[in-house]
Amino acid sequence: MPPPLPSALRQFGKPRINRAASPVLALATPWLLVMLGSLSPSWPVIASAPVLPPFGFLLLVGWQQLRPGLFPVWAGFPLGLFDDLFSGQPFGSAVVLWSAAMIALDFIDHRFPWRGFALNWLVASAFITAYLLFALQIANLGGGNTSPLVLLPQLAVAVLVYPVAARLVALADRFRLIPIRKV
Amino acid sequence: MAAPNNRRPGYSRRAQYGNFFGYILAVAGLAVGVIMLVVSTGKPGAFSGVRMAATDGAAPAAKAAAGARTGSQSTWQIVTGYFTSGVRVARLEREVAEARVRLAEQAALAEENARLKAMLALAQGDQRPVVVTRMIGSTSSSTRRFATIGAGTNQGIRVGMAVRSPLGLIGRVVETGSTSARLLLVTDTESSVPVRRASDGLQGYANGLGDGTVQIRLSTTGINPLKRGDAIVTSGSGGIYRSGEAIAVVTALTPDGAIARPLSDPGQTEFVAVEPAFEEIPEIVPAPAPKPGGKH
């Protein structure tokens, strides 16, 4: 169940008869939210070690699990391209990994159509682990020489933050479907 | 929630083709990504133009947020401070006592230094920074350690300039946009800074480990003379970093060197100074000689 909206937002879309969701809002919100997550390197946190989870990737997986098929399968390419602009990884890293993740998530959606949150979390954790490890390998190809042990704290944080990201996605999903357009 | 069955959209040809081309596009995107990756790992600066344009675009919002950052961090420190204050007070008292002695020694050394410099007729060479600016962000989720500062080529920043905080060296500029620039932090695994021990000039390199510490590798072999608490400063060889800038303090010993923690935590730093390159790189490069001691 998606969480209820804050009361101010609930009042916002109150007259519901002959109202429909705005298509602009409904379509743009998922993309914007993932891009906002990709912007996390400009958030006011300056770290001398990788500590923050890859928010863009968490939100992408969150959307794909809450609303399978909302993003087209090729969405990994444009969103990954945007993420690469800010992430500091070698350019193309997120394009490859996000595209591969979207294809794999699409496969899992069709293989296991009915899932509980526990299974979603498990799948997401596997994806996050694979994503961080591959990203590390790619960063090392591009000139770094980091040990995989450096990832452990970040991996723990990312796996624990995933449910929060999923709640955020659910909230954004409620927001994007508020009926504000007069039919 | 079960997925809408997009794979078999029924009899609509349009929907079937749309579905099919969606998958084609997804695989094509993956392939393009692989090509980009090959290009960018082969030539790290290949996409720096687009990247810095994007960072320039995001910089105004990041600058506004950076002002709030130091404020919020000090709040957190106040909270954690309550739990560690007793131990800290004892440690600080001991350190103050030690520091008083050191201060007296330093005063004597400074005097001696001035006298010796006067004897050699050396210029003081106190360099003014190119610009003092804010740190506005860092790649906090990637294993590569880059940070962004809020000034670029418009303010006279060029690739290769060293960046320092009041506490010590932070890194050097690797990419410049017009109003922002990207730093390679000293903790990145690609960063290697020629250093020496402050007390006796023992030479070595400080290589980043990617987890917020640096590995000190000595140029000499044999018995490891480093001790915990040794101060490490830049040696100035190589010409990128000025000599004698504080960089790190040894925290743990390894068989061939030590692990050191940088003095200037970039997260605690609000303003940084960008310094001109220590030595101008000559226009005509002489016959290529083998570079001593690793990549920079």
pLDDT tens-place string over residues B198-210? 888 788 899 988 8
What is the pLDDT confidence band of residue A71, given thresholds at 50, 70 and 90? very high
What phi and psi, each to the nearest 5 degrees, are found at residue A143? 120, -15
Chain A CB contacts of B144 below 8 Å: 88-89, 139, 142, 144
Handedness of CA A84, A89, A95, A99 (dihedral sign): negative
Structural domain count, chain A:
1
Chain A neighbours among B 156-215 (CB < 8 Å)? Answer: 182, 185, 187-190, 209-212
- Which residues form the domain of A11? 7-182
What is the pLDDT confidence band of residue A28, given thresholds at 50, 70 and 90? very high
Tell if the CB–CB gap between B138 and A47 is shorter than 8 Å. yes
* A12 located within any domain: yes
Residue among A41, A77, A138 whose CB faces B139 most closely: A41
pLDDT per residue as tens digits for the range B124-181: 455 678 888 888 877 778 888 888 888 888 888 888 888 888 778 888 898 888 888 9
pLDDT given for residue B295 in this prediction: 46
More confident residue, A6 or A162: A162
Chain A neighbours among B 65-94 (CB < 8 Å)? Answer: 65-66, 68-69, 72
Q: Residue B265 — left, alpha, or beta (φ > 0 → left; ψ -120 to 50 → alpha)?
A: beta
3-state secondary structure of A96: helix
- pTM of the entire predicted model: 0.74
- List domains and CATH numbers for chain B: 48-72+129-279 (2.40.10.340)
pLDDT given for residue B294 in this prediction: 46
- Say whether pLDDT at B223 is over 70: yes
* A44 located within any domain: yes
User: Tell me, what's the ipTM?
Assistant: 0.79
* A146 located within any domain: yes
- Say whether pLDDT at A78 is over 80: yes
Burial class (CB in 10 A: 0-12, 13-18, 19+), A86: buried
Non-local (6+) Cβ contacts of A8 within 8 A are: none
- Say whether pLDDT at B24 is over 90: yes
pLDDT per residue as tens digits for the range A79-109: 999 998 888 888 889 999 999 999 999 999 8
What is the pLDDT confidence band of residue B79, given thresholds at 50, 70 and 90? low
**CA–CA separation, A89 vs A96, rounded Å?**
12
* A155 located within any domain: yes
Q: Mean of the per-residue pLDDT values for chain A?
A: 87
pLDDT given for residue B265 in this prediction: 74
* A24 located within any domain: yes
* A42 located within any domain: yes
pLDDT given for residue B89 in this prediction: 86
Q: Is A119 on the interface with B (CB under 8 A)?
A: no
Q: Mean of the per-residue pLDDT values for chain B?
A: 79
* A1 located within any domain: no
Q: Are B217 and B205 within 8 A, CB to CB?
A: yes
Strand partners, A78: none
Tell if the CB–CB gap between B33 and A154 is shorter than 8 Å. no
